């Protein structure tokens, strides 16, 4: 089997290396392909430049994994990074011929903001431009090919990640939100591989998956725990209104497809990051 990983950064590289161990062939594309592992077939592609896709016409992948990112955090950046990329990808002749596309979206697409539960069938947020662009991207990919949309909660696990850097600097966030959701980067990459292997084996792969662990601890409580571990005093903003999404993500479908988390809660994940 051959997989093509588009926008191949940290998650895509982990997926590709794992598939190589399973004797898959891995092609990967990004703006700076020299940063990809030498074992990959490497391609220089700028996902927001349709002309750069021409170099992929000879790949003919069995599977495609896409990890799109916003070009900036304003509506235009999300439009380009999600809806625009999906439109370009949908126009490629080889996309309809592959067995399945794995498209990594986000739980940001959900409209819930009052602490309620969401799952794969919950209402979507069409009122926010950024979320709308992500939703439009998902829809375009579904029209173009058989697809599984993975909607991860906050991806973490990098010892030098944003939250870890803020805590080391003594910067805490607002305390208004009661719930938070997350998934370790190792588990997100493992989930993608799990879906690919299931499809290859002829087993059912859901069209949508919420990628989240078993815990909904508020982010500010995690910040307090991390600060205690490294003996840092946090300074928080005077405005306690929530700065992050306020919802709880159900992950029951992961168990039903036989997937087990390596880091079931943030405690195991951040402990590993601190030890690293």
Q: Is the pLDDT of residue 177 over 80?
A: no
Q: Mind listing the pLDDT tens digit for each residue in 157-169? A: 998 889 999 999 9
Bridge partners of 245, per DSSP, are none
Strands 63-66 and 41-44, sheet pairing: unpaired
| pLDDT of 240 | 62
pLDDT band at 173 (very low <50, low <70, confident <90, very high): confident
Q: 147 in a domain, yes or no? A: yes
The structural domain count of the chain equals 1
CA angle (264, 201, 27) in 5-degree steps: 80
Q: Mind listing the pLDDT tens digit for each residue in 89-110? A: 999 999 999 999 999 999 999 9
Q: 238 in a domain, yes or no? A: no
Q: For residues 66 and 101, give the distance between their C-alpha atoms in angstroms, rounded to a whole number.
A: 8
Q: Is the pLDDT of residue 243 over 70?
A: no
Q: 163 in a domain, yes or no? A: no
pLDDT band at 43 (very low <50, low <70, confident <90, very high): very high
Q: Mind listing the pLDDT tens digit for each residue in 211-230? A: 999 999 998 899 999 999 99
Q: 26 in a domain, yes or no? A: yes
Q: Is the pLDDT of residue 244 over 80?
A: no
Q: What is the CATH number of the domain that holds 145?
A: 3.40.50.720
pLDDT band at 42 (very low <50, low <70, confident <90, very high): very high
Q: 193 in a domain, yes or no? A: yes
Q: Mind listing the pLDDT tens digit for each residue in 55-84? A: 999 999 999 999 999 999 999 999 999 999
Among 65, 55, 57, 62, smallest CA distance to 7 is for 65
Domain that holds residue 141: 2-156+184-213+249-259
Q: 152 in a domain, yes or no? A: yes
Q: 168 in a domain, yes or no? A: no
Q: 224 in a domain, yes or no? A: no
Helix 266-275 vs helix 219-229: angle between axes, to the nearest 10 degrees?
30
Contacts for 161 with CB less than 8 Å, ≥ 6 apart: 273
């Amino acid at each position: 089997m051959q997989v093509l990983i588009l926008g191949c950064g940290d998650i895509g590289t982990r997926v590709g290396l794992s598939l190589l161990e399973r004797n898959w062939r891995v092609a990967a594309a990004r703006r700076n392909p020299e940063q990809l592992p030498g074992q990959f077939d490497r391609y220089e592609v700028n996902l927001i430049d349709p002309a750069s896709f021409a170099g992929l016409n000879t790949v003919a992948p069995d599977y495609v994994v896409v990890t799109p990112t916003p070009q900036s955090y304003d509506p235009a950046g999300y439009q380009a990074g999600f809806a625009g990329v999906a439109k370009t990808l949908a126009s490629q002749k080889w996309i309809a011929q592959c067995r399945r596309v794995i498209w990594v979206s986000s739980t940001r697409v959900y409209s819930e903001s009052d602490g309620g539960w969401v799952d794969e069938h919950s209402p979507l947020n069409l009122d926010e431009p950024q979320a709308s662009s992500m939703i439009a991207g998902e829809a375009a990919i579904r029209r173009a090919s058989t697809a599984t949309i993975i909607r991860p909660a906050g991806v973490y696990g990098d010892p030098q990640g944003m939250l870890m850097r803020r805590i080391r600097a003594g910067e805490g966030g607002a305390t208004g939100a009661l719930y938070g959701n997350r998934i370790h980067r190792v588990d997100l990459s493992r989930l993608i591989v799990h879906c690919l292997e299931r499809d290859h084996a002829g087993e059912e792969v859901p069209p949508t998956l919420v990628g989240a662990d078993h815990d909904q601890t508020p982010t500010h409580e995690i910040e307090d725990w991390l600060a205690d571990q490294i003996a840092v005093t946090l300074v928080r903003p005077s405005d306690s209104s929530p700065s992050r999404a306020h919802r709880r993500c159900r992950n029951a479908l992961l168990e039903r497809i036989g997937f087990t988390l390596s880091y079931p809660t943030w405690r195991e994940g951040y402990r590993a990051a601190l030890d690293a």
